[in-house]
Chains A and B, each alone.
Chain A
Protein backbone atom coordinates (compact mmCIF):
# COMPACT_ATOMS: atom_id res chain seq x y z
CA UNK A 1 0.00 0.00 0.00
CA UNK A 2 1.45 3.35 -0.98
CA UNK A 3 2.08 5.81 1.82
CA UNK A 4 1.09 9.43 2.11
CA UNK A 5 2.53 11.46 -0.73
CA UNK A 6 3.16 15.17 -0.76
CA UNK A 7 4.05 17.43 -3.64
CA UNK A 8 6.19 19.30 -4.21
CA UNK A 9 8.93 18.15 -1.86
CA UNK A 10 10.79 21.44 -1.95
CA UNK A 11 9.64 24.93 -2.73
CA UNK A 12 11.28 28.34 -2.72
CA UNK A 13 9.11 31.42 -2.77
CA UNK A 14 9.52 35.11 -2.06
CA UNK A 15 7.65 37.23 0.45
CA UNK A 16 4.20 38.22 -0.67
CA UNK A 17 3.70 35.28 -2.99
CA UNK A 18 1.23 32.51 -2.41
CA UNK A 19 1.78 28.75 -2.44
CA UNK A 20 -0.32 25.60 -2.75
CA UNK A 21 0.82 22.29 -1.31
CA UNK A 22 -0.76 18.97 -2.14
CA UNK A 23 -1.29 15.77 -0.17
CA UNK A 24 -2.57 12.37 -1.28
CA UNK A 25 -3.57 10.18 1.66
CA UNK A 26 -3.15 6.44 1.94
CA UNK A 27 -5.80 4.68 -0.11
CA UNK A 28 -8.97 4.30 1.94
CA UNK A 29 -8.06 6.98 4.45
CA UNK A 30 -10.60 9.76 4.65
CA UNK A 31 -9.07 12.07 7.21
CA UNK A 32 -6.20 14.41 6.38
CA UNK A 33 -4.39 16.68 8.81
CA UNK A 34 -1.75 19.32 8.17
CA UNK A 35 1.07 20.40 10.46
CA UNK A 36 3.80 23.01 10.38
CA UNK A 37 7.15 21.80 11.72
CA UNK A 38 9.84 24.28 12.71
CA UNK A 39 12.94 23.91 14.90
CA UNK A 40 12.07 24.67 18.50
CA UNK A 41 8.31 24.75 17.89
CA UNK A 42 7.86 21.11 17.01
CA UNK A 43 4.72 20.22 15.09
CA UNK A 44 1.92 22.73 15.19
CA UNK A 45 -1.51 21.70 14.04
CA UNK A 46 -2.93 23.62 11.10
CA UNK A 47 -6.21 21.90 10.24
CA UNK A 48 -7.93 18.59 9.79
CA UNK A 49 -10.34 17.53 7.08
CA UNK A 50 -12.73 14.65 6.94
CA UNK A 51 -15.20 14.02 4.12
CA UNK A 52 -14.36 17.37 2.51
CA UNK A 53 -15.22 19.27 5.69
CA UNK A 54 -12.81 21.07 7.98
CA UNK A 55 -13.25 19.41 11.38
CA UNK A 56 -10.58 21.20 13.35
CA UNK A 57 -8.45 24.27 12.98
CA UNK A 58 -5.28 25.35 14.75
CA UNK A 59 -4.22 28.84 15.76
CA UNK A 60 -2.89 30.11 12.47
CA UNK A 61 -3.87 33.30 10.65
CA UNK A 62 -6.42 33.29 7.87
CA UNK A 63 -3.61 33.34 5.29
CA UNK A 64 -3.47 29.58 5.86
CA UNK A 65 -6.32 27.69 4.28
CA UNK A 66 -7.05 24.24 3.04
CA UNK A 67 -9.53 22.01 1.36
CA UNK A 68 -10.24 18.37 0.74
CA UNK A 69 -11.59 16.82 -2.41
CA UNK A 70 -14.05 13.99 -2.85
CA UNK A 71 -11.18 11.53 -3.40
CA UNK A 72 -9.75 12.59 0.00
CA UNK A 73 -6.78 14.38 -1.54
CA UNK A 74 -6.09 17.65 0.20
CA UNK A 75 -4.44 20.95 -0.57
CA UNK A 76 -3.29 23.72 1.67
CA UNK A 77 -2.71 27.28 0.57
CA UNK A 78 -0.68 30.03 2.14
CA UNK A 79 -1.23 33.51 0.79
CA UNK A 80 0.95 36.59 1.22
CA UNK A 81 3.94 34.57 2.36
CA UNK A 82 6.09 35.84 5.21
CA UNK A 83 9.66 34.87 6.13
CA UNK A 84 8.31 33.10 9.21
CA UNK A 85 6.31 30.72 7.06
CA UNK A 86 9.51 28.89 6.15
CA UNK A 87 9.00 25.41 7.55
CA UNK A 88 8.41 21.76 6.81
CA UNK A 89 4.71 21.23 6.13
CA UNK A 90 3.56 17.75 6.99
CA UNK A 91 0.43 15.99 5.93
CA UNK A 92 -0.96 12.99 7.81
CA UNK A 93 -3.83 10.68 6.98
CA UNK A 94 -6.01 8.53 9.18
CA UNK A 95 -8.48 5.75 8.55
CA UNK A 96 -12.20 6.37 8.85
CA UNK A 97 -13.48 7.38 12.27
CA UNK A 98 -13.51 4.75 14.94
CA UNK A 99 -11.08 3.88 17.67
CA UNK A 100 -8.19 3.35 15.29
CA UNK A 101 -8.94 6.61 13.53
CA UNK A 102 -6.50 8.33 15.81
CA UNK A 103 -3.38 6.73 14.38
CA UNK A 104 -1.93 9.14 11.86
CA UNK A 105 0.43 8.23 9.05
CA UNK A 106 2.74 10.98 7.93
CA UNK A 107 4.06 11.98 4.55
CA UNK A 108 7.61 13.15 3.85
CA UNK A 109 6.64 16.80 3.98
CA UNK A 110 7.09 19.82 1.76
CA UNK A 111 10.04 22.02 2.69
CA UNK A 112 9.00 25.63 2.05
CA UNK A 113 11.61 28.35 2.06
CA UNK A 114 10.48 31.96 1.89
CA UNK A 115 13.10 34.49 0.80
Chain B
Protein backbone atom coordinates (compact mmCIF):
# COMPACT_ATOMS: atom_id res chain seq x y z
CA UNK B 1 0.00 0.00 0.00
CA UNK B 2 1.14 3.52 -0.68
CA UNK B 3 2.12 5.82 2.15
CA UNK B 4 3.49 9.35 2.39
CA UNK B 5 5.64 10.77 5.14
CA UNK B 6 6.14 14.47 5.80
CA UNK B 7 8.93 14.88 8.28
CA UNK B 8 8.16 18.31 9.65
CA UNK B 9 4.78 18.94 11.22
CA UNK B 10 5.46 22.59 12.06
CA UNK B 11 8.00 24.96 10.57
CA UNK B 12 8.59 28.55 11.61
CA UNK B 13 10.66 30.84 9.40
CA UNK B 14 11.40 34.51 9.07
CA UNK B 15 10.64 36.31 5.83
CA UNK B 16 13.35 35.86 3.18
CA UNK B 17 14.54 32.58 4.70
CA UNK B 18 14.81 29.56 2.45
CA UNK B 19 12.32 26.73 2.75
CA UNK B 20 12.62 23.02 2.25
CA UNK B 21 9.81 20.66 3.25
CA UNK B 22 10.51 16.97 3.14
CA UNK B 23 8.27 14.34 1.57
CA UNK B 24 9.02 10.64 1.23
CA UNK B 25 6.70 8.01 -0.14
CA UNK B 26 6.56 4.30 -0.31
CA UNK B 27 5.36 2.69 -3.51
CA UNK B 28 7.15 0.24 -5.74
CA UNK B 29 6.09 1.51 -9.14
CA UNK B 30 5.56 4.59 -11.23
CA UNK B 31 4.05 7.51 -9.35
CA UNK B 32 2.50 10.88 -9.90
CA UNK B 33 3.49 13.36 -7.20
CA UNK B 34 1.83 16.53 -5.96
CA UNK B 35 2.18 19.35 -3.49
CA UNK B 36 -1.00 21.05 -2.36
CA UNK B 37 -1.31 24.15 -0.21
CA UNK B 38 -4.13 25.24 2.07
CA UNK B 39 -4.03 28.92 3.02
CA UNK B 40 -5.98 29.90 6.13
CA UNK B 41 -9.69 29.75 5.37
CA UNK B 42 -9.18 28.71 1.77
CA UNK B 43 -9.55 25.59 -0.40
CA UNK B 44 -6.76 23.16 -0.97
CA UNK B 45 -5.04 24.18 -4.17
CA UNK B 46 -2.37 22.60 -6.30
CA UNK B 47 1.13 24.08 -5.99
CA UNK B 48 2.89 21.79 -8.43
CA UNK B 49 2.86 18.30 -9.86
CA UNK B 50 5.23 15.74 -11.31
CA UNK B 51 4.01 13.27 -13.90
CA UNK B 52 7.13 12.47 -15.92
CA UNK B 53 10.18 14.05 -17.53
CA UNK B 54 12.35 16.67 -15.83
CA UNK B 55 12.48 15.73 -12.14
CA UNK B 56 12.79 19.40 -11.15
CA UNK B 57 9.30 20.81 -11.24
CA UNK B 58 8.39 24.46 -10.96
CA UNK B 59 5.04 25.52 -9.56
CA UNK B 60 3.17 28.64 -8.69
CA UNK B 61 4.41 31.43 -6.41
CA UNK B 62 8.08 30.54 -6.82
CA UNK B 63 7.85 27.02 -5.41
CA UNK B 64 9.72 24.10 -6.89
CA UNK B 65 10.16 20.43 -6.04
CA UNK B 66 12.64 17.78 -7.02
CA UNK B 67 11.72 14.16 -7.57
CA UNK B 68 14.57 11.86 -6.55
CA UNK B 69 13.45 8.40 -7.53
CA UNK B 70 16.28 6.58 -5.76
CA UNK B 71 15.33 8.26 -2.49
CA UNK B 72 11.56 8.05 -2.99
CA UNK B 73 11.48 11.75 -2.21
CA UNK B 74 9.73 14.83 -3.53
CA UNK B 75 10.89 17.75 -1.41
CA UNK B 76 9.37 21.19 -1.77
CA UNK B 77 11.61 24.26 -1.89
CA UNK B 78 11.39 28.00 -2.09
CA UNK B 79 14.49 30.22 -1.98
CA UNK B 80 12.89 33.12 -0.12
CA UNK B 81 9.59 32.83 1.74
CA UNK B 82 7.09 35.60 2.28
CA UNK B 83 4.60 36.18 5.06
CA UNK B 84 1.85 35.22 2.59
CA UNK B 85 3.31 31.70 2.35
CA UNK B 86 1.94 30.96 5.81
CA UNK B 87 -0.23 27.91 5.16
CA UNK B 88 -0.43 24.16 5.50
CA UNK B 89 1.38 22.13 2.85
CA UNK B 90 0.46 18.61 1.82
CA UNK B 91 2.45 16.16 -0.25
CA UNK B 92 0.44 13.54 -2.16
CA UNK B 93 1.25 10.47 -4.21
CA UNK B 94 -0.73 8.42 -6.67
CA UNK B 95 0.54 5.07 -7.88
CA UNK B 96 0.23 4.55 -11.59
CA UNK B 97 0.81 0.85 -12.07
CA UNK B 98 -2.70 -0.47 -12.39
CA UNK B 99 -6.22 0.84 -12.55
CA UNK B 100 -7.67 3.47 -10.30
CA UNK B 101 -5.16 4.02 -7.55
CA UNK B 102 -6.11 6.35 -4.76
CA UNK B 103 -4.37 9.65 -4.07
CA UNK B 104 -2.59 9.35 -0.73
CA UNK B 105 -1.74 12.46 1.28
CA UNK B 106 0.83 13.09 3.95
CA UNK B 107 -0.26 14.52 7.29
CA UNK B 108 0.77 18.03 6.29
CA UNK B 109 3.30 20.63 7.40
CA UNK B 110 2.16 23.89 8.96
CA UNK B 111 4.40 26.74 7.89
CA UNK B 112 4.40 30.01 9.79
CA UNK B 113 6.36 32.87 8.28
CA UNK B 114 6.99 35.76 10.60
CA UNK B 115 7.33 39.25 9.10
Q: Using Cβ atoms and an 8 Å threshold, which residues of chain A touch B102?
A: 33, 45, 48, 56, 58
CB nearest to B99 among chain A residues: A55
Q: Using Cβ atoms and an 8 Å threshold, which residues of chain A touch B51?
A: 99, 102
Known A-B contacts A42-B90, A42-B108, A108-B43; the reply to A103 vs B100 at CB < 8 A is: no
Q: How large is the interface on B (under 10, 10 to 19, 20 to 34, 35 or more residues)?
A: 20 to 34
A106 within 8 A of B: yes
Q: Using Cβ atoms and an 8 Å threshold, which residues of chain A touch B45?
A: 106
Q: Using Cβ atoms and an 8 Å threshold, which residues of chain B touch A102?
A: 32, 34, 49, 51, 94, 103
Say how far A100's CB is from chain B's closest CB, in angstroms.
8
A108 to B39, CA, bound (A): 12
Residue-wise, chain B 84-112 has the 8 Å CB interface mask toward A (1 for contact) of 00000010101000011111111110000
CB nearest to B1 among chain A residues: A59
Say how far B14's CB is from chain A's closest CB, in angstroms.
25
Interface size on A, residues (CB 8 A): 25
CB of B100 within 8 A of CB of A48, answer: yes
A33 to B92, CA, bound (A): 14
A104 within 8 A of B: yes
Say how far B37's CB is from chain A's closest CB, in angstroms.
11
Residue from A56, A90, A102, A108 whose CB has the most chain B CB atoms within 10 Å: A102
CB of B105 within 8 A of CB of A35, answer: yes
A50 within 8 A of B: yes
Q: Using Cβ atoms and an 8 Å threshold, which residues of chain A touch B16?
A: none
Q: Using Cβ atoms and an 8 Å threshold, which residues of chain A touch B105?
A: 35, 42-45
Residue-wise, chain A 1-21 has the 8 Å CB interface mask toward B (1 for contact) of 001000000000000000000
A-B contact list, 17 entries, CB within 8 Å: A33-B102, A40-B107, A42-B106, A42-B107, A43-B92, A43-B105, A44-B105, A48-B102, A50-B100, A56-B101, A99-B51, A103-B46, A103-B49, A105-B46, A106-B44, A107-B43, A109-B43
B residues in contact (CB < 8 Å) with A: 32, 34, 36, 43-46, 49, 51, 90, 92, 94, 99-108
A residues in contact (CB < 8 Å) with B: 3, 33, 35, 40-45, 48, 50, 55-56, 58, 90, 92, 99, 102-109
